[in-house]
Structure 1
Amino acid sequence: MSCEQVSPLSMNTSLSGSSGALWPAIVRRTAHALDCGALLPIQTSRTTIDDGGVRFVVRQISSLARKEKDKQQRKAGSSSARASNPFLPYDPDLFVADISDTHLVLLNKFNVIDHHVLIVTRRFELQQALLNLADFRALFACMTQFESLGFYNGGPEAGASQPHRHLQVAPLPLDDSAPQLPIEPLIAAARMDGSVGTVPGLAFAHAFVGFDQALATRPLELARSAFERYMSLLAAVGLHAVDADGEPLQSAPYNLLVTTRWMMLVPRCAERTEGISINALGFAGSLFVRNETQMDTIRKLGPMSVLQRVAGTMGSASAAGSD
């Protein structure tokens, strides 16, 4: 049951990035959800590890007990994956805004990063289906309103915990100790002319493309451009559409990182290495471990080596299935 009745924030994908309506709504909804217990932040301790020109932020999670208990309760309540879907229906206390007739914004119930939100499809759509133009319109309707990182985990092997389509947006900086993304020092050396390439110094397989900065405050045009470049990134790493009853599914798992300035796609071969799970944020320079043993493993191997182990290979769709 909802703690209170609220009027939704209504947005549309033509909303100007300068309107600023979304950020105050996220802040208000966060305060409300904390007050009524709908939002259950995961506490962490933090350290930094320098490797390959990147100051990685590694967070050690104190406890996942509440998240795992919630997951088990949902499984016990129904044998149907869709019936146990936390997005259908969603918790109204986590609801932030309507974006369009296809997408809405929810708070991430078990957040590690403050004000982390999910962009969720209104109807059930598979997480392993290729992203479409409506996804990018919804993403940039949000991201052009405040400095943020968008990311996507394409399937369980890429760190997705739910089969229902959801993109994610985290405000920047990801960590108070740095004013930018950990990988930004390397991004500065990348070509930003709109051609698909790679980032000098990033040791894991990936494809990178810059955006026209004139589009940074024009969400619809930026979304259209990003969607076209997304298809080019998929092709560059060897991924393609696989038809499943008329729905284009991805041929292999991948992660996607998005800002209003650039986008990067990382093919995946494994969800974890040495027991350490990696999602899209890992390739931005933000890693999570469960305990001190895993922290020691990252120190020993080096964060860049950990990322190399779970990233796929370039140029062959089938290669994403092997290390």
Structure 2
Amino acid sequence: MFRRPSLPTHFPELLTKTFEAAVKSGDLIYTESTQESATDNGVDVRYTFAPALAKKPTKDDNNGDEKTEKPKFNPFEKPDPKLMLVPDFGDYSLVLNKFAIVPNHFMCISKKVIPQTAPLTPNDLEYSYAALQAAQSDGAKYIGFFNCGPNSGASVDHKHIQFIELPKDFTPFPESVIKAKGRDYKPGQQPLSSEKVPFAHFIVPWEAEWAEEDAKADNDTEVAIEDPVAEELGFKFSTVLSRVLTELRVNDAPSISYNVVFTDKWVMAVPRSKESYKDISVNATGTVGLLLAKSQEQLDIFKEETPLKVLTELGFVKPEEEEHPEYDY
């Protein structure tokens, strides 16, 4: 019988306790940052200024030395025990991020060494969804995010999905899209988007509970669905991924690179053309308006150039609704 993956009810307490212990022992690098709220064309933006993160290893630091043939360093192959939250969560482990951008920043890491360029599977999505739900308590709302490809902002080539708590007074723009249009969305139709956002992005509503209810109510199916939640999440993800791949193809993108961001209500995918803007690396969190600056110069660039302009430069101009109406993948 189908059983959804689950975590203990005290997972939020475990998350906080392990984070605080790792900070105290020095096994996790975290420094208080300053934050500033803003808007750009009616879109909520949050600037986080964290100069200490300039010490975080880059993608190039994790690559081997070609001259000495030094092997690539993979920090996720054997995670630090002091950062471990849940060692056995199906095919995954839940681990704290050693270089936290906010308190309780954690990850869902595949136990097997799978490249970060591999697309998310229904199993990846189901377990990540369950981890996100388990982390939420007392009004704390989390987002999950996945950076795929050389231009996505990923720094470690081992499949991992990350999670951070959203600022309590911050509303990512996909949330507004879902509130306005989500109820009218029909499975299989083109993904939703925001009129306020100029870069290509694709949003669909999803909710794991729907899958189980729909599976029980569907008396027409002749083949039993082994895992309705994984199938539902996988189908919704394939909807946005198809549009991303089409957008990359029609724009002759140099690589398959994209960001995925999700909550327990929606998932968004954003195709990427570049990894950085004026040497500022931006990952998936940036696509919803959570912009991280590691120096005053970077912060000034975000403000002067404007976030939506920067994000459009890193991705692609949003296509008109009549463009590319059919999926190519």
Q: TM-score, normalised by structure 2?
A: 0.78
- What is the match of residue 116 of structure 1? 105
User: Number of residue pairs matched?
Assistant: 291
Does structure 1 residue 267 correspond to structure 2 residue 271? yes
* Contact 1:49–1:299 under 8 Å retained in 2: no
Question: Match of 2:49, SS?
Answer: strand
Deviation at 1:137, TM superposition (A): 2.1
Q: Give 1:290 shift.
A: 2.1
Q: How much has 1:30 moved relative to structure 2? A: 1.0
2:197 pairs, out of 198, 202, 205, with 202
Matched, 1:149 2:138: no
Per-residue deviation, residues 101-143 of structure 1 (Å, max 9, x unmatched): 4111000000011101010000100000111122112202211
Q: Indicate conservation of the 8 Å contact 1:152/1:256, yes or no.
A: yes
Distance 1:70 1:284, change over 3 A: closer
Matched residue, 1:7: none
Change (3 A) 1:26 1:294: same
In structure 2, the partner of 1:80 is 71
Change (3 A) 1:217 1:93: farther
- Does the CA contact (< 8 Å) of 2:63 and 2:71 recur in 1? no
Q: Report the 3-state secondary structure (helix = DSSP H, G, I; strand = E; otherwise coil) of the residue aligned with 1:142.
A: helix
Structure 1 268/74 Cα, relative in aligned 2: closer, same or farther at 3 Å? closer
> Does the CA contact (< 8 Å) of 1:99 and 1:138 recur in 2?
no
Instruction: Report the equivalent of 2:160.
Output: 166
Secondary structure of the equivalent of 1:64?
helix
Unaligned runs of 5+ in 1: 1-11, 241-249, 317-323
* Corresponding residue number in structure 2 for 1:94: 83
More moved, 115-124 vs 57-66: 57-66
Q: Which amino acid aligns with 2:200?
A: A
Q: Which residue of 2 aligns with 1:14?
A: 4
What is the Cα deviation at residue 55 of structure 1? Answer: 2.3
Q: CA deviation at 1:305?
A: 0.9
Residue 262 of structure 1: how far off its partner (Å):
0.7
**Distance in 2 (alpha carbons) for counterparts of 1:50 and 1:308:** 16
Matched, 1:285 2:293: no
Matches within 5 A, 1:210-221: 210-212=205-207, 214-215=209-210, 221=228
Q: Deviations over 1:52-76 (max 9, x none)?
A: 2112001122223542499859968
CA gap 1:183/1:295 in 2 versus in 1, 3 angstroms: farther
2:207 & 2:108 partners in 1: Cα distance?
24
Is residue 305 of structure 1 aligned with residue 306 of structure 2?
no
Moved more, 255-264 or 230-239: 230-239
CA apart distance, 1:208: 1.0
Retained in 1: the 8 A contact 2:201–2:269?
A: yes
> Using the alignment, how far apart are the partners of 2:255 and 2:264 within structure 1?
27
CA gap of 1:33–1:42, structure 2 versus 1, over 3 A, is same
Q: Which runs of 5 or more structure 2 residues have no equivalent in the other structure?
A: 214-226, 248-253, 325-329
Look up the match of 1:175: 167
Task: Look up the match of 1:236.
Answer: 243
Three-state SS of the structure 2 residue aligned to 1:256 is strand
1:237–1:163: structure 2 CA closer, same or farther, 3 Å change rule?
Answer: same
Root-mean-square deviation (Å): 3.2
3-state SS of 1:90 partner: coil
**Structure 2 residue aligned with 1:67, among 46, 52, 56?**
56
In the alignment, the residues of structure 1 paired with residue 208 and residue 31 of structure 2 have an alpha-carbon distance, to the nearest angstrom, of 35
Determine helix, strand or coil for the equivalent of 1:270: coil
Instruction: Say if 1:266 and 1:13 are closer, same or farther in 2 by CA, change over 3 A.
Output: farther
Q: Which amino acid aligns with 1:203?
A: P
Displacement of 1:100: 3.0
